[in-house]
Structure 1
């Protein structure tokens, strides 16, 4: 009998497709092909076996004799031996004189084309809808330009290494160069062990040559011309093999590299997971100058494959659905920069792919789907859960230690060895060997932060009988105080929703979060409640009743604060209005929405929310120390018509001289209205009124510890504006120093609106200190923050402040001209008249003009 030949088997696979009139096989064709084979031969090859044969399913072993015999009979031969003999007659054995570079290229291209087709067919998104990656071109340009023999693309599972490489190989083949590309996936290397040969000999035999024939061709520069030989292995990872098998392959591959590294025509290209490279690079990178590592994007993981950038995400979306028009927010888009998560989302929405379904909880749904399919429904599911629970139990949350020493958990891993290997193979866990000459050090880590945070949340809930209550919140507060805290809390909230524990949301007021974290949580909760509300027809009675009642005070007032003002915050407040709220809560919610409209300088939205507020009975506003409707009307009248609403500002004057303490509103609601009223005083540009108002607030409102950073931050920023009008550099500097001290410690905790106020203060102080060189940098930082949050109000006031400065115009006329243009464009886009913004020294003339236009009302002077 003729022995098994990988090259002839690839030819047989091709003949089977020809006989079936299948030009490019897909997984769905395997069932039909199985039927065709049975119809002709009356022998059965299962659909699953055919998927293994054509690379759609993983197989550690070569096909059985029965399979190849039946395939040969299907093609009209007596069997495998007869097929091999016929191929020998068609392709007589070559001799040295007939062996050339082109023959080698043809044989290699057959193998490469099969590998490409198999990998393309396994793509989660149809390969024709995937995109090229520019980083690959940059990587190869540097690699080929230097004196390198080998390179590696190293990244965790799901970074898109394989698909990106397939695109590059396709383009390389289409270029028509003299290069030879021999491309394998790691599963194909299993045949090395089955053949009993050395990797180098096996490759040459696969190409149809003996070592003597082939070597002469490779070294003959006249036949090779400028061609290069690319030996590419995709997914060269140790989890694919037994340990001894992988080590044998690794050593043989190293021998090949060592033999050819002095020849510039030979190029070795590998893709592997980061952990695998870290664990084995000491065996591969012994000749460092010959290895090109590319552009490392993550030093801790030694990753040189970047995630998708925004432009790539947009390109991929258009490739999938050319009619897509909806845009995606940057913070949400960042959830899809991971190709694996993009793939999950595509599978859920492939029939109508759009980002209309994307929100801040989407990534949590995608990770949940992955864990369900790969962990809960996979092999050894129970063992996996027990292993993960025990691993989390040995972590040190308090000190931020989320990885484990393999030596310390060796017995645990041995107990659940099958589960551990499964979790390693899917990328849920990874091993990183960072041993040195003085100690062995191998760490077991989670594949990414999403997997880690999900598992910790599940552990906390399992230990608490799956209840999300104050006990869980206290544990999170006491033990977790780093970047993982908020995501873990979000996973707990997701669990609460899916298990019907919505009432537990009232407990969120007990969680300790920074303003930025709280802002993210509020937006997350808004999207989550919106999703629940929009699917009420599919929900159980408990969820329906949840929205039929008034939102509890604990949950409702958790959402309020001037620091949260942003575009996404609008969706959250709109969702709150879907509850059966009391009139006072509706007024507060619409006040929040109107505040966002002011921040966005959206005149139409201001009008809409004012109309809604005016529909409430006047008695409902009696409980407010400062009427929010009057406050919003004053701001609207100024931006719409340039009119200063004197009766409202007179009421504020009365308030700060005789502050009312008869107010039963929640502190958070009061703070929003107080700050809104205080900032409305900037319209008058009367600094003493602002300072008196701030002093008046101190007598009636004592913010709690939770509000000390955000509420006091805005009050100090408001006071700094007043002292800036008074040209009191000492006070402005003092306020800046006190804010900067806290801001430096809490910079990562500040929300976008808080950052905008801080940069505005830095610009004002720079003007007062004649430090005009620093203004441009601060202005750029401010613009970036404002653009991300949709804050046009801060832009407007900063532009106006800078244009009122004569020194800036003299020192940097180009910057002055650009600011003037930006302000004019901003006002035009928002439909605001430029005439309402005048220099401070002209304010008196404007007020006198308004007094004249109002008939000389004697009460007008009270505003001053």
Structure 2
């Protein structure tokens, strides 16, 4: 009576909780409950068993008679039979005739099983179930399946993909929710382990269903209801979750699959019986894939539109909106989520990474969660949970080391041959299957009729980066030292891959307090973007940990030899970087470093039209300029140029003496050949270019930028320098204002190509991309390509608003307003005007709107 149906288990749970005096049981209370049961009955039910009873742990078999008797006795009953007898009479007191039907009887049993299974899966969810989101694709998949002639369907995906929770949401949507779509159907939702406990003893699904009629031997479930359709109120849907070859064993799984296949194929004359299965990709490849070749399989099994035969997956990742919904449910502020980069949101679409991220930031409600730092923590926790905490970790590490060797740390490509990886070593097969099941490795079946070709790769590139870094650490005695760093530097050219390997090495040195290793990382001859990313990670890590050792990592005088200004580029012009720049101020020793940091802080405030913050930064910049003799003797100091911009936007006035000084400097300055641009020079050049733009003196802006590029030929060889690209954008803007569309178009296209080709170098530098798109929209509009103009302009507007680049919003509005007016897009024009009014109300730069929108 008990095995698979779990009759009255939900009732027993409720009675135990009532006796224990709680409404809801938490996992940490199971130990206290076990003691309470022991005190009352004198019998011991372990904490682990109680976790299985209440769904906090996997149940691989039905509960023992001892467990059920003891729990019934705790509830003041003689034993389990006495408990059932009491509630059987209560449940089957005289009711309406409809409730006494055979279909109703089966439905009641199915509900008891399903509710228990769903409770178990909810309690095992890594994210509180009420924070999770229904998967729209899964609901659509089931909807199409239920209305089709197929007998069975399957959800196939790696571990941690959210298959089980997707089934729970679907079950509530279609059969168990308050507004269930198909409330008259019988839904039997079970775990594969529960089914296996019976089926492996010789039962079949057909005979088990027959037994559910409970009317004596010889009744045939399917034939009975087919012969008496008036008693059948809907479909019978059997959901089996968790066909897992690791937990069940490969031979048992194949036996279970054969029984399942027999049941599915025997339903040919009973289309009202449907089977839904969830399975890991690795199990599908191992057990099911061969069956796909038979015509019967294709006729009976619905795989869905998203089926990828190479990777054996038919469920896409979460949509961006589903991922955001989970974050909102977990109390992340919409304003916080809105600030996440597109690339980070793409990673959070992986359900398991989203789970880890919400767990790492369980407090929620923060103004900003640093995505760069979180990504490394997510990956680290993922590998710890799935690899090092596993019983087969030694074999798994051996396989990964072999794969790194075959890939030559990624230099030989991303794929290795499966046969070469395993070399028919049977002791490696279980560990290899676990790596596939846990989504660390992925198989891609490229076999053809005349050859067998299965390739293996890491599931994600950042896993390759992590394991490559760990390989070098292992090879150098777990010490990040000059020898290790030189090896990596020599083995890999400049690339995003190398940068992330160095980040993992830096993280290892930080977490293992290898101060000498940290210092060695920053003495490497790396490109500026690489240094900037590494320095940012270092500062963020110590800020997150609140570690006072941060100031001790770099001894006094360190940054005199290794100036911070060589680490910081225009890529730091981003409001998210303000906290980081403030932290770097505590390390800055030279006036040049301090000026670089303060200039970036001023530009960030200016981009946000934050006049008050601009005043604060101007005060600090003035002190730096006054204290440095070389800066003080410049024809135009950074302070003078920055203050001119501030005064013009604040009051709409120009200091004629300062203006004359700026114009004279732009016309007369010259430098010796090969002289490098100092921090102060760069600040002045940038400010003067913007001043000419504000004043509408586009010819002077063209002349100034042309002379700048002529004087400093090094710009020609440093294509990715953000300062160079910014100057090119202003130059293109000026040419456009002078109606030199061809020159503006050529420059803008060049900037676009550089930004796309070196996108990883501009991970945070969206201001360049935004400005380039504003100029592109203007060019398209002048060439009457209005569809392209709208797309470019609206993309720029969306980015500028998201990143709080208010100056760019105003510049872009001038372009979009003309486009909307020409296309008579009144609704869009009105919405854009409303955003401009919000900016007007948020800034005390009173002259910003009239001076920027009409450039």
Q: TM-score range by the shorter chain?
A: 0.7 to 0.9
Partner of 1:575: 583
1:240-268 superposed Cα distances (whole Å, 9 cap, x missing partner): 32222212222221222222255442221
Partner of 1:861: none
SS at 2:628's partner residue? helix
User: Aligned-pair distance for 1:618?
Assistant: 1.0
User: Aligned-pair distance for 1:81?
Assistant: 9.6
Matches of 1:657 and 1:357, distance apart in 2: 47
Q: Determine if contact 2:638/2:683 at 8 Å carries over to the other structure.
A: no
Q: 1:462 aligns with which of 467, 474, 480?
A: 474
Q: 1:728 aligns with which of 737, 740, 747?
A: 740
User: Aligned-pair distance for 1:387?
Assistant: 3.5
Change (3 A) 1:91 1:635: closer
Change (3 A) 1:278 1:546: same
Matches of 2:75 and 2:850, distance apart in 1: 85
Matches of 2:309 and 2:367, distance apart in 1: 32
Partner of 1:714: 726
Matches of 2:396 and 2:507, distance apart in 1: 22
User: Aligned-pair distance for 1:588?
Assistant: 1.5
1:4-36 superposed Cα distances (whole Å, 9 cap, x missing partner): 951476557964863673676553453344334
Matches of 2:299 and 2:607, distance apart in 1: 56
Partner of 2:202: 196
1:676-698 superposed Cα distances (whole Å, 9 cap, x missing partner): 43233212222332233224424
Q: Determine if contact 1:108/1:207 at 8 Å carries over to the other structure.
A: no
User: Aligned-pair distance for 1:195?
Assistant: 2.0
Q: Determine if contact 2:3/2:198 at 8 Å carries over to the other structure.
A: no
Matches of 1:761 and 1:88, distance apart in 2: 76
Q: 1:780 aligns with which of 756, 776, 794?
A: 794
For structure 1, the residue ranges without an aligned partner over 5 or more in a row are 93-97, 844-864
1:433-482 superposed Cα distances (whole Å, 9 cap, x missing partner): 45332222334444444444322221132223331657546636754777
Partner of 2:418: 406
Matches of 1:578 and 1:195, distance apart in 2: 70
Change (3 A) 1:203 1:213: closer
Structural mapping, 1:334-349, within 5 Å: 334-348=346-360
1:475 maps to 2:475: no
Matches of 2:852 and 2:396, distance apart in 1: 69
Q: Determine if contact 1:413/1:420 at 8 Å carries over to the other structure.
A: no
Partner of 1:184: 190
1:686 maps to 2:700: no
Partner of 2:505: 492
SS at 1:6's partner residue? coil
Is 236-245 or 205-214 further displaced after alignment? Answer: 205-214
SS at 1:560's partner residue? coil
User: Aligned-pair distance for 1:561?
Assistant: 2.5
Q: Determine if contact 2:469/2:505 at 8 Å carries over to the other structure.
A: yes
User: Aligned-pair distance for 1:271?
Assistant: 1.8
Q: 1:546 aligns with which of 531, 537, 554?
A: 554
SS at 2:243's partner residue? coil
Partner of 1:794: 808
SS at 1:269's partner residue? strand
Matches of 1:29 and 1:818, distance apart in 2: 54
CA RMSD of superposed structures (Å): 4.3
1:603 maps to 2:604: no
Is 552-561 or 757-766 further displaced after alignment? Answer: 552-561
Change (3 A) 1:138 1:271: same
Matches of 1:222 and 1:584, distance apart in 2: 87
Matches of 2:523 and 2:832, distance apart in 1: 43
SS at 2:48's partner residue? helix
Change (3 A) 1:446 1:324: same
User: Aligned-pair distance for 1:114?
Assistant: 1.8
Q: Determine if contact 2:692/2:700 at 8 Å carries over to the other structure.
A: yes
Matches of 2:786 and 2:365, distance apart in 1: 50
User: Aligned-pair distance for 1:812?
Assistant: 4.9
User: Aligned-pair distance for 1:638?
Assistant: 1.6
1:652-679 superposed Cα distances (whole Å, 9 cap, x missing partner): 4333444354898775774454334323
TM-score between both structures, scaled by the size of structure 2: 0.83
1:463-505 superposed Cα distances (whole Å, 9 cap, x missing partner): 2333165754663675477765544333222113223345646
Q: Determine if contact 2:152/2:302 at 8 Å carries over to the other structure.
A: yes
Partner of 1:266: 273
Partner of 2:96: none
1:556 maps to 2:558: no
Is 583-592 or 675-684 further displaced after alignment? Answer: 675-684
Matches of 2:91 and 2:820, distance apart in 1: 83
User: Aligned-pair distance for 1:148?
Assistant: 3.6
Partner of 2:641: 631
Matches of 2:654 and 2:663, distance apart in 1: 14
Partner of 1:236: 243
Change (3 A) 1:573 1:531: same
Matches of 2:701 and 2:140, distance apart in 1: 57
Report the number of matched residues: 827
User: Aligned-pair distance for 1:112?
Assistant: 1.2
Change (3 A) 1:816 1:423: closer
1:52-81 superposed Cα distances (whole Å, 9 cap, x missing partner): 455533465566676567667768899889
User: Aligned-pair distance for 1:190?
Assistant: 2.8
Structural mapping, 1:198-597, within 5 Å: 198-205=204-211, 208=214, 212-220=219-227, 222-261=229-268, 263-279=270-286, 280-283=288-291, 286=295, 287-288=297-298, 290-294=300-304, 296=306, 301=311, 303-309=313-319, 311-321=321-331, 329-331=339-341, 333-348=345-360, 350=362, 354=366, 358-398=370-410, 401-411=413-423, 414-417=426-429, 419-465=431-477, 466-467=479-480, 469=482, 471-472=484-485, 475=488, 478-479=491-492, 484-501=497-514, 504=518, 507=521, 518=529, 522=532, 525-526=535-536, 528-533=538-543, 535-536=545-546, 538-540=547-549, 544-546=552-554, 551=559, 554=562, 556-597=564-605
Partner of 2:3: 6
Structural mapping, 1:639-650, within 5 Å: 639-650=649-660
Q: 2:157 aligns with which of 140, 155, 158?
A: 155
1:714-768 superposed Cα distances (whole Å, 9 cap, x missing partner): 3332322332333234433443455456556456765422222322332343355
Partner of 2:145: 143
Partner of 2:97: none
1:143-165 superposed Cα distances (whole Å, 9 cap, x missing partner): 33444433322332222222232
SS at 1:57's partner residue? coil
Matches of 2:109 and 2:403, distance apart in 1: 49
Is 629-638 or 752-761 further displaced after alignment? Answer: 752-761
Matches of 2:85 and 2:737, distance apart in 1: 97
Matches of 1:733 and 1:85, distance apart in 2: 85
TM-score between both structures, scaled by the size of structure 1: 0.82
Matches of 1:533 and 1:90, distance apart in 2: 62
User: Aligned-pair distance for 1:370?
Assistant: 3.6
Matches of 1:150 and 1:506, distance apart in 2: 59
Matches of 2:680 and 2:231, distance apart in 1: 78
Change (3 A) 1:781 1:38: closer
Matches of 2:317 and 2:680, distance apart in 1: 41
Matches of 1:749 and 1:84, distance apart in 2: 67
SS at 1:272's partner residue? strand
Q: Determine if contact 2:810/2:849 at 8 Å carries over to the other structure.
A: no
SS at 1:152's partner residue? strand
Matches of 2:687 and 2:312, distance apart in 1: 49
Partner of 1:42: 42
Q: Determine if contact 2:162/2:352 at 8 Å carries over to the other structure.
A: yes
